[in-house]
Chains A and B, each alone.
Chain A
Amino acid sequence: MNEGDRHPFLRGLSAHRGAPPTVAIIFGASGDLTARKLIPAIYNLAHDNLLPSDFQLLGFSRKDLGDEQFREIVAGAVAEFSRRPPDPEVLARVKSSASYLSGGYDDPAAFKELATRVEAIEKSLGRETQALFYISTPPSMFKPILENLGASGLAKRHLGTRLASKVIIEKPFGKDLASARDLNAVIARVLDESQVYRIDHYLGKETVQDLLVQRFANAIFEPLWNRNFVESVQITVAEEVGVGTRGGYYDSSGAVRDMIQNHTMQLLALTAMEAPVSLDAEAIRDEKVKLLRAIQPLNLQGRPDVVRARYAPGYVSGEKVPGYLEEETIPEQSTTETFAALRLSINNWRWAGVPFYLRSGKRMPHRVTEIAIQFKRPPGNIFSQSDRFDLAANTLAFQIQPDEGMTVVLNAKVPGLETRTQPVKMRFGYRTTFGSNTPEAYERLVLDAMIGDGTLFIRGDETVESWKLITPVLEHWKELGDSGLESYAAGSWGPDAAEALLKTTGHNWRRP
């Protein structure tokens, strides 16, 4: 929104300080995500005085709870999961704004009651209020919730104004192309795309948002950011943990659905996209979709572009851990992958011929998310004697988490009488330059949805393009069963087959 379009009394304030009167309704209010992320996010926004002064929180779930019980859940969630210790005054305010409604997600009567409750809240506040719906339920409930929002009229409140209802939908958005399209069709019947906020919390991370700034606010990178200078790109999203108590969900999902189709593809899009014409949400999302469309279908036969694997027993951080099939909730006959590696080709002028390597897995040596751009070596190298010159390929690495920052690997002369070289690292660290105590991703995302900024959310066509690439892989694996499912020791960087994926093109996986 242009500054001139804003109400005169909001001009000069950043958009995030002008959130309109809002009642936030969380579907799945008794769930894990609500406790771990959403309530702490709302608390911290209240702490920073970024919530509208008459903000109301309404929890909705099937559990039979009263208002007071829900308020105690709110207090407990803040105490346990907030990045800041609770301030009694702020917590009291958040608690007093919270209420609860129990009902079935597929029960029209419950949504009628919800609509009545929302209207009553608006009347008591004396001014028009937007309804922000957060769907944090099992994916099977997304459709009935959306349909009921439509049938009850809640989806169409204040349509065409800045107070129009908004719906945030958690991942997974579909489990394949058909289901994602189906879900988009349901959304289109009930809502305008501008009302929809498909969440990928990686986009709320400061370091991910910094990617566009680094790429397009610094003139030195763009001339090199193409096939003439880039040798390869590696994106790693590694987790140290196993499936833990999430086995039931994870076994029906796997590494590709859980991490690659969404988070990793978003990192790829931001790394490889063209410069947007502006910082408007649609301009950025248009470029991401364009990039996703340029990715070539993956080769699944002969020399496949994908590797999948499952962790076996091993050692992580010095502790012995069981293999995937030994985990409590995992069935013996599971063929779910806990690791996947892909080699992608992007067919456009910028990237033709540059391999993009993506990998994600559980029970890897440590938790790290990194994007590494490896550059080509200088031509006709005068430093070619390998016994004197230890040359590394210049690499620009973005550490998304932990230890957020950027590293550049250069070659420098070792002090001495002879000319010898050695790789050195230059580093920019977020913590030492900006400190921590930055907002958590969910704080940013919830507030962005409240003010109607969709930049950090996934558009319908983005998720379709991502599923178009990934779905043939999943279908192929389903046909194969466990044939071709590799194994890797927990605590290692993945199977040998993943190493072989790069060796064929003379590359090696990084050890971030």
Chain B
Amino acid sequence: MSGSDTRTIFESLPGLEVPVGKVVQSLDEIWAGAPNGGESAPSEFRASQMNLVLHLGMRTTHEAAATQFEIALALSRRHPARTVVLCPIQQGEPGSSMRAKIFSECYIGASGKEMICCEVVMLSYPFDTRCYLENQVSVCLEADLPVYYWPHCIASAARLEDYSHLLKGSRRIILDTGCETEGVEEALAPLAGKLRDLADTRLLQVRQSLGRYLSSFAPATLVDGLRTVTVGHKPALAAEARRLLDWARRSLDQCGGPPPAEAVFSIRSDESKGPAGLSLDMDYATTAHTIRWEADFDAGHARMSANMGAGDIAAEGPVSLLKPEVALAEAIFS
């Protein structure tokens, strides 16, 4: 619980509380509508592509819970889903038994001609009943559709072992290294093939902008005499900066041989006031050679400049970090 709100996270999320054993029946009852004068019954629009399990860890605040809930709904408006939100009861919170809520929403789209419907099941459970969670969650999931597991603000890396059924049973595990506890990613290393980082998927347009620009230089040119690669970032974008540097290093490694041994890869935090942004600087042993890319996400554009021996080149283009629900979709589907 946070601040003056004495409700649990489960209580603060929207939805209708139903008996835990009647979650599926209650969902069916929402959709069972009688056709009216030839109009389609609501149940005809109840279509899902997937199951999303949003696991709100013990470090989740009320505000963050509401934000993640809205992101899940926004995702569902484009990719109809059944979302199961897991809300462990925090230390000191009342409640000794599992509770359930259901929520549904139909989105008629900008044209008014489509109807996409999604369902959310919220499960609140005492922490010490977590070993029984697997059965209850499996009942709530929609059969035959893939499961995506999205743990958020998990208290510690060790805690994830308690939810191995979710880790193993899901097609993808989606983290956000921008807010996860240190060590969570390492703890999930055995499942690296399923792991996606929202800090990385948020950078899709950044990689696109940089990729298009840097691909106009021959790979060998990019590594010849490379001395330093520096990613600069505003404080809120530290995780993105790490991912960007990883990507730059991997891509340079593939440019026909590893970069020169003395090339230094580093991250620089820019504490000054100013718009949210990232930058990439590549400097070369030949003093005149340089590549600079700088993005201002508030203004929505990036500037690129380079001199690789053929004179100064400059370009500008649009760039932004992906919206949260778009980043989530990218993590799920790419």
A interface vs B, CB < 8 Å? Answer: 7-14, 17-21, 49, 52-54, 89, 93, 125-128, 429, 431-437
Q: Cβ of A433: which chain B residues have Cβ within 8 Å of it?
A: 47, 49, 80
- Which residues of A sit under 8 angstroms from B207, Cβ to Cβ? 12-13
Nearest-CB distance from B216 to chain A (Å)? 5
Judging by beta carbons under 8 Å apart, are B208 and A49 in contact?
A: yes
Bound-state Cα–Cα, A421 to B121, Å: 38
B211 proximal to A (CB < 8 A): yes
Query: Which residue of the partner chain B has the closest CB to A19?
Result: B212
Contacts of A19 in B (CB 8 A): 212
A436-B113 in contact given A8-B254, A49-B318, A126-B315 (Cβ < 8 Å): yes
Flag if A54 contacts B315 (CB, 8 Å): yes
Q: How long is the Cα–Cα vector from A432 to B79 in the complex, in angstroms?
A: 9
From residue 95 to 114 of chain B, which have CB atoms closer than 8 A to chain A?
Answer: 109-111, 113-114
Contact indicator B212/A52 (Cβ below 8 Å) = yes
CA distance A440 to B41 in the complex (A): 29
User: Which residue of chain A has its CB nearest to the CB of B78?
Assistant: A435
Measured between beta carbons, the chain A residues less than 8 angstroms from B47 are: 429, 432-433
A437 and B109: CB pair below 8 A? yes
B252 & A8 in contact (Cβ 8 Å cutoff)? yes
Do B215 and A10 touch across chains, with their CB atoms under 8 A apart?
A: yes
9 closest cross-chain pairs (CB), A and B: A53-B317, A8-B254, A7-B215, A126-B313, A9-B214, A9-B211, A432-B47, A431-B114, A8-B251
- Chain A residues in 8 Å Cβ range of B216: 21, 127-128
What is the minimal beta-carbon distance from B77 to any residue of chain A, in angstroms?
A: 7
**How far apart are the CA atoms of A89 and B317 in the complex, in Å?**
12
The winner among A93, A429, A431 for most chain B CB atoms within 10 A is: A431
Given the interface pairs A435-B78, A435-B116, A436-B111, the reply to whether A11 lies near B318 with Cβ below 8 Å is no
Interface positions of B from 21 to 66, Cβ below 8 Å from A: 44-45, 47, 49
Specify the main secondary structure of chain A where it touches its partner: loop
| Interface positions of B from 193 to 221, Cβ below 8 Å from A | 204-205, 207-216, 219
- Taking the nearest CB of chain B, how far is it from the CB of A7, in angstroms? 4
Given contacts A13-B211, A18-B211, A89-B300, are A126 and B314 in contact (CB under 8 A)? yes
Could you list 14 A-B pairs, sorted by A, with CB under 8 Å? A7-B215, A14-B334, A18-B208, A52-B212, A53-B209, A54-B317, A89-B300, A429-B47, A431-B116, A432-B115, A432-B117, A433-B47, A435-B80, A437-B109
Count B-side interface residues using an 8 Å CB cutoff. 46
B18 is an interface residue with CB less than 8 A from chain A: no
A127 to B211, CA, bound (A): 15
> In chain A, what residue has the closest Cβ to B214?
A9
Judged by a CB distance under 8 angstroms, whether B263 is at the interface is no
Chain B residues, CB < 8 A from A13:
204, 207-208, 211
**B255 interfacial contact with A, CB 8 Å:** yes
A432 contacts B214, C-beta separation under 8 Å: no
- At the interface, yes or no: B270 with Cβ under 8 Å from chain A? no
Interface of B is mostly: mixed
- Cα-based distance from A8 to B113 in the complex (angstroms): 43
Q: A432-B44, A436-B111 are in contact. Are A93 and B318 (CB under 8 A)?
A: yes
A93–B317 CA distance with the chains assembled, in angstroms: 10
Q: Are B114 and A8 in contact (CB under 8 A)?
A: no
Task: Return chain B residues, CB-CB under 8 Å to A128.
Answer: 216
Contact yes or no, A436 B109, CB < 8 A: yes
> Which residue of B has the minimal Cβ distance to A402?
B113
B49, B113, B247, B251 interface centre (most CB from chain A within 10 Å) = B251
Our pick among B49, B111, B219 for the contact of A7 (Cβ within 8 Å) is B219
In the assembled complex, the Cα of A429 lies from the Cα of B117 at a distance in Å of 13
CA distance A19 to B222 in the complex (A): 20
Q: Which of B44, B254, B315, B334 contacts A53 (CB 8 A)?
A: B315
Given contacts A10-B215, A18-B211, contact A125 B111 (CB under 8 A): no
Q: Give min CB distance, B320 to chain A, whole Å.
A: 8
Asked if B316 is an interface residue, CB under 8 A from chain A, the answer is yes
Is A53 in contact with B316, judged by CB distance below 8 angstroms?
yes
Query: Using Cβ atoms and an 8 Å threshold, which residues of chain B touch A53?
Result: 209, 212-213, 315-318
* CB–CB B110/A127 < 8 A: no
Given contacts A11-B251, A20-B212, 6 further A-B contacts (CB under 8 A): A8-B255, A18-B215, A49-B208, A435-B109, A435-B114, A436-B113
Cβ contacts B250-268/A at 8 Å (1 or 0 each): 0111110000000000000
A16 CB → nearest B CB, Å: 10
What is the bound-complex CA distance between A498 and B116, given in angstroms? Answer: 40
Given contacts A9-B211, A53-B209, contact A432 B219 (CB under 8 A): no
CA distance A93 to B222 in the complex (A): 30
Of B111, B215, B251, most buried by chain A (CB within 10 Å of CB) is B215
Residue of B nearest to A8 (CB): B254
Q: In the assembly, what is the distance between CA of A7 and CA of B252, in Å?
A: 10
Q: How far is the CA of A198 from the CA of B129 in the complex (A)?
A: 63
Q: Please give the distance in Å from A467's CB to the nearest CB on chain B.
A: 38
B215 proximity list for chain A (CB < 8 A): 7, 9-10, 18, 20
A18, B314: Cβ atoms under 8 Å? no
The CA-CA distance from A442 to B229 in the complex, in Å, is: 40
- A127 with B300, Cβ < 8 A, contacts A13-B208, A436-B113 known: no
A437 near B300 with CB under 8 A, answer no
Roughly how many angstroms separate A12 CA and B334 CA in the complex, as a whole number? 10
A136–B11 Cα distance when bound, in Å, is 60
**B residues in contact with A89, CB < 8 Å:** 300
Interface centre among A8, A13, A436 (most CB of B within 10 A): A8
Residue numbers in A under 8 Å from B317 (CB-CB): 53-54
Which residue in chain B gives the minimum CB-CB distance to A127? Answer: B216
**B111 nearest in chain A by CB position:** A436
